[in-house]
Structure 1
Amino acid sequence: ILIVDDIELNRSIFARQLQSEGAVVSEASGGFAALTAVQQADEAGKPFDIVLLDHMMPDIAGDEVAEQIRARANWRQPKLVLASSIGKPISTDRAAQAGFDAFLTKPVRHQVLVDCLSGVVGEGALRPEAPPAKDVVLADPRPGHARVLLAEDNQINILLARTLLEKEGYVVDCVLDGVEAVEAARTQAYDLILMDVQMPRMDGLAATRAIRALQGAAAGTPIIAMTANAMAGDMEACVEAGMNDYVSKPIDPEAFLRTLRRTLSGEDSVAPAVGGDAVDDMPDLDDTHLEGLARLLPAARFADMLDVYRQNTRQCLERIEFLAVDQDLPAIAAEAHDLKSTSGTFGARRLQRLGEQLEIAGKAKDAATVARLLPVLRQDGERALALISRRCIDSEPTGEIMRKIS
């Protein structure tokens, strides 16, 4: 089988799925490379049985590659299967005109792939018990049919992400670290995994690599990284580990859901990195962000999240002060990481940026910068919590609930 795709990760996923069924796999990174590979295999007397073609490639589209293969009357003709994203569709008429025997819609589940390829070359070619596939196999993109695994250890992020997902109709399972994520992926089929990068016991990158090494369909499950470290190097590390896409924390609800839909549709896109501004340029509170979050979530759920944030933030600030006495800079960096993420969720921009700076200083073991930031953190932290509480108490319908718990 020849796998043709300009995205290395896609080729790798397809290759693992097929090799687990005993298939002999070759890869080509584009349309012209595919034509060369098919010709060379034919001339060597070892023609490919199947060519699995991506639709949209930079050099030449998959349907054009298919037409060129079919035009070579002297070649022993392979079966041609098109792998097309929902967001980049091709009509059934065009697929038939180009000479495809079947087409798949990405992301492709392991069993769907095996059934389809077994069907086009004859039942049992890949798996004896596999039934023939239909000529057109389409994944169901509707959220109500998607099961999502959320791997996250931060309580605020869990509450927010789960609320957003369930409101959209996704079925959500939650785990608290990478070890649990790998075990969940091994024992339960998921349409998508949301993976926090920084977790205890096993981080998200290690968990992703472990999932990609699993046997069967789990290895091909789309994985989205969730991290507060939105830098170019972090993005590259996520891609290298085998993640399909990337969302920054604090969670922006619209961008978060847009990325989920894009990944479930099979489009290949990694979110761009974002930079940070200086603390002096940051407002204490992003009112627009906070109001948008309050409108998006049920009032009781939003109030619960805010109460958890206030308690956790006060405890976090106290722990940072305590750790500073012992000069435990790595532990300060870990606390600051959580502070950065959750503060951004509620629009506390100055506190978010201070958390980021403190995390960087802690990781660099820069005790002088940590000491300089602590008084500012203490002052801005209390002010941010007071402002958030006041804004929510003054608003409706959240205000009535907030007055009861304040």
Structure 2
Amino acid sequence: MSQPGWTPEESSDRKADPARLSLLGHDLRAAVSDVLGGIRLIEQDGLDPATRLQLERVRAAGEVLARLLEESLAEMLGEEPGDAPVSNVQLSRFLYDIEMRWSGRAREKGLAFTVSVGAGVPAVLALDRMALERVLANILSNAIKYTDSGHVRMDVTLTEDHALQMAVSDEGPGFSGAALQRLFQYAGRPDDADKPGHGLGLHISHDMAGRLGGHVSVRNLPGLGAEVALTLPASVWELALPDTPTELPDLSHVKVLVAEDNASNQMILSHMLTAMGAEVELAEDGVEALHRLDCEEYDIALVDIEMPRLSGIEVIRALRGSGGPKARMPVLAVTAYVLRANRDAIFAAGADGILAKPLPGIETFGQAVAAAVARAETPGTQPQPAREETVELNVARFDHLMEIAGPDGAVELLDRLQIDLRRTERGLVAALADFDRPAIRAETHVLIALAGAVGAERLQAMAESVNAAAHRRDDTGMRGTGAEMCRQLDRLIHFVQTEFNRRGGAA
């Protein structure tokens, strides 16, 4: 029905209005971003294991929802390019989210659910994450739906021809002859099936597998149950590593401790350091890092700030307070969260520098490590403090905005602007670290509007550039412009906070 007072033609026009769809999309993206942000900020230490598990389940499902929403909105608004959005997927994190999401669903039916990973499976995949999630979600949903007791499992392995296979097996009744004849058809579910549904799951899985460049196979297992497997040839997921530069710093005399809990980042850091000749040892958390620092001699430590048991900041503080020569050992902090407050805390703890995630190219990375070691080997040499820079702003536009708001309204506006800018900054830093293109597009969409409103024209142009790079799947463009965009955003936040305090907001 049409709304009271509207003709059917007017209702149709409103539904098709691109501007109205764009505004609705903006609000939907903002709402989902707030929901996910709220979930991530919940302190889990005081929660019981069952509640923590459910919270992780909601978070994992919510992030899938956000990516589905972004893809749907982009298609509705004509934003989606034709090519598949290939990104680097950290497999361990991806499988953790799969397990968190589907173990809860299985437990509700009294089923066991496990994920196993075979030898040689790659740590990072280069493919369309959303398509991969949709394939597995439909396969797992069917397996759990049709299994009334027993076990559902997902095995991730490499085949003899180096294809990646994700096989979901269950202990249900298996596929009937009629179902096998209509596999992958749209609404191909047999009429006499004893479970509700339309048979769309395998159709979607088949379609998405084709989008990935792979295929889905189905077979009944001997005795009881079925197996549905996604197979992806190596050519569609192998990570294309950049060529190693010919001129790199010589780190053959350097022994490095890498304190990092993420297996993929361990691999990347170790690969780059050993390519330059360094000797590398790994610590998987802050406690192990301090133990190694106590027992062995190193020339430099690379310390992840977000580690379990003991944070990187706590490790750096403990090292600097230990006394003796080790207290002066160079330390580079590795973190995705290079916001102003984080930087201040990291340098206050005693770090010599910060390496921002995503990590720079091997040449830039090597120069940073070599420079830190060289400073330590040259007594009296200290790194130069970074020069405080201000945001590039159209002051006339900003002043006009404050004039329109009035004295009291300006303070309230600046307060709200601080909140929105900080939330956007957190979202962008996390999205850029993970190369999460849908999140990058959503966050830069918000930033374009915020920066434009206050006259931060260069920041607005950068946000537009990163947004366009995300649409083009241009990781190099996102990485390069994204880092400077975050620096400009940080300066804008500092400027807004200063203005808020100057106008009496601090009181």
Larger Rg: 2
TM-score bucket (shorter structure)? 0.3 to 0.5
Instruction: Give the TM-score normalised by structure 1.
Output: 0.35
Instruction: Give the TM-score normalised by structure 2.
Output: 0.29
